Amino acid sequence: MKIKQARILFLQNLSDIGRSPNTIKSYDTDLDQFLFFLNKHQLSEIQIDDLTYPLISQFFHEHTSHLAISSQKRKRTVLKRFLKFCYQKKLCNTKVWELVDVVYQKNSQGPKEVLSSDEIQKIFEILNQDIERKIQDLNQNFAPTQRELHQLYVLFRNRLLIYILLFTGCRAYEAVSIQKGNVKLTTNTLGIIAKGNKYNEVPIHIQLKYAFFEYENGIQLLQQAGYQCIDSPWLFPSIKNPQNHISTRTLYDFMLELSTHLHRKIHAHLFRHTFASYSIASGMNIRTLASIISHANPSITLSIYTHEINAKQKQEEIQKLVF
């Protein structure tokens, strides 16, 4: 079978077995790059069995050698899984997937980049000051427009987003796609649709619970001022399409604003690393941490936060030393 035909079947299989849309999109992008390479070399009609080691090596040399090791590993894994799928489903006769070399990387991870306590405090100071300033402006305006009220809503929304990212360690997509029905303040649980479209119920920290109360108070204030709230099942609905949630691009733009204020690069995943690192430092069980941040296996958490875990263990063990 031709590679371009097998690709369609492979992506359909990923959908059938329940892989998330983001995962499928990522696989599709990497395979599209491989097909682009073949097309550039007049090999768009090539059969799977006709792939050779020199050809595959040339592809990785041309398209991935400039990338970080982690990106190289991902692209090799995608191609390897695709070709292995082709062999297992009898779309080809040879084990072509064995021609894809694995990239080995020494575990030289240093500490994850995290936010300091001062930086966290500064972020909330900035957000609270922006809200207070906007409320003062609206109080001086007896007839605020929907646009002006919406600007205040965005400030309330962004502050809650930061609390969620910081106190759950969830990913950017998981934060923006929270459904209202999954916020259960009476039981202190928050339902998150995690990677792989898996439902994960995480505990709500007391400070996050207060943040939800503050958000609700803010919405009530806006309604009293005449704001037309969006009727949507999503906690953070899209303005253009209320039946959908805001995009991760919206969150990304907000992170750029914070970066300007803090004079350093701020991104959503930074809050995830901050949550995990502070949790480890406070003595949280690794299995519990893995469950909260939606890692499929605690070994993933151990591999990502090896430095943080080892540093804490060293601190604990050195205190046992007696002369």
Classify residue 18 by burial, with Cβ atoms within 10 Å: 0-12, 13-18, 19+.
exposed
Who contacts 42 (Cβ-Cβ below 8 Å, separation ≥6)? Answer: none
Name which residue leads in pLDDT, 191 or 297: 191
CATH of span 3-99: 1.10.150
Maximum CA extent, the chain: 76
**Would you state the structure tokens that stand for residue 131, as one six-digit string?**
């809200």
Contact 31, 79 (CB under 8 A): yes
- The β-bridge partners of 191 are 201
The superfamily in CATH containing domain 117-317 is Intergrase catalytic core (1.10.443.10)
Who contacts 112 (Cβ-Cβ below 8 Å, separation ≥6)? Answer: 273, 276, 277, 304, 305, 307, 308
| First vs last C-alpha separation in the chain | 72
Q: Can you give the pLDDT at residue 307?
A: 80
Q: Can you give the pLDDT at residue 68?
A: 82
Using one digit for the tens of pLDDT, what is the confidence trace for 79-136?
999 999 999 999 999 999 999 998 876 555 566 789 999 999 999 999 999 999 999 9
Cα–Cα distance measured from residue 270 to residue 252, given in angstroms and rounded to the nearest whole number: 12
What is the residue-wise DSSP string for 249-264?
HHHHHHHHHHHHHHTS
Average pLDDT, the chain: 92
Once rounded to an integer, what is the mean pLDDT over residues 270-281?
93
Lowest mean pLDDT among 39-48, 59-68, 217-226: 59-68
The domain segmentation of the chain, as residue ranges, is 3-99, 117-317
Kindly tell me if the per-residue pLDDT of 32 is higher than 80. Answer: yes
Q: Which amino acid is present at 87? A: Y
Q: Can you give the pLDDT at residue 109?
A: 58
Whole-prediction pTM: 0.75
**Would you state the structure tokens that stand for residue 3, as one six-digit string?**
């590679």
Kindly tell me if the per-residue pLDDT of 322 is higher than 90. Answer: no
Q: Give the long-range contacts of residues 111-119, CB within 8 A, separation 24 or more.
A: 111/277, 111/307, 111/308, 111/311, 112/273, 112/276, 112/277, 112/304, 112/305, 112/307, 112/308, 113/270, 113/273, 114/270, 114/273, 114/274, 114/277, 114/278, 115/270, 115/271, 115/274, 119/262, 119/264
Q: Where are the alpha helices (H) located in 143-205, listed in sequence order? A: 146-168, 172-176
What burial letters (b/e) apply to 150-170, b meaning 16+ CB within 10 Å?
bebbbbbbbbbbbbbbbbbbb
Order across the sheet with 198-203: list the strands: 183-184, 189-194, 198-203
Kindly tell me if the per-residue pLDDT of 142 is higher than 90. Answer: no
CB atoms within 10 A of CB 29: 11
In sign, the C-alpha dihedral spanning 207, 209, 212, 218 is: negative
Contact 286, 302 (CB under 8 A): yes
